[in-house]
Amino acid sequence: MSLRDLGVRVPQTAEPDLTARSAAQQMEKQGVGCLVVVDGGKPIGVVTDRDLALYVLVGKRDPGLVRVREIAARRPVTISDSASIGDAARTLRRHGVRRLPVVDEKGTLVGLVSGDDLLRALATEVGDLAEALRRQLSKATQAEQAPPAP
């Protein structure tokens, strides 16, 4: 199953000049933990609530003056929307990230996938497989218990 088939969610985005305060307010309002920083529709960074806390609060910087381009992880790890769930899981593990911006063939942001999204998709797949095996076993058992044909 590709990420396109998975139906990755559309991420919340931020322009590079958005202030840290506005980014935090947007995250709170939308109930998300990160924003994908975009320029011309292409991801150029990712800023998380943790980034805001560490860079702004711990660093004692003014959240009204700091811009997300200063905080966002540069050159975010992205993945193609045609990649498989397995590819996404390996990419998350290899790069030690929790979220991947999903891009189309032109590099335009089309979604965001997290480890939790992949776990849900895999759980559904495993559940479907278990149900198919249960039905197959049930049919086999019924065939064994059926009286022989005259």
Range of 1-10, 12-21, 139-148 with top mean pLDDT: 12-21
CA distance 73 to 67: 13
pTM: 0.80
| Residue 148 clears pLDDT 70, i.e. is over it | no
Q: Which CATH code fits 3-144?
A: 3.10.580.10
CA distance 51 to 64: 15
Boundaries of every domain in the chain: 3-144
Is residue 117 within 8 Å of 92, Cβ to Cβ? no
pLDDT in tens, 25-51: 999 999 999 999 999 999 999 999 999
| pLDDT value at residue 2 | 82
| pLDDT value at residue 74 | 76
Residue 131: Cβ within 10 Å count: 10
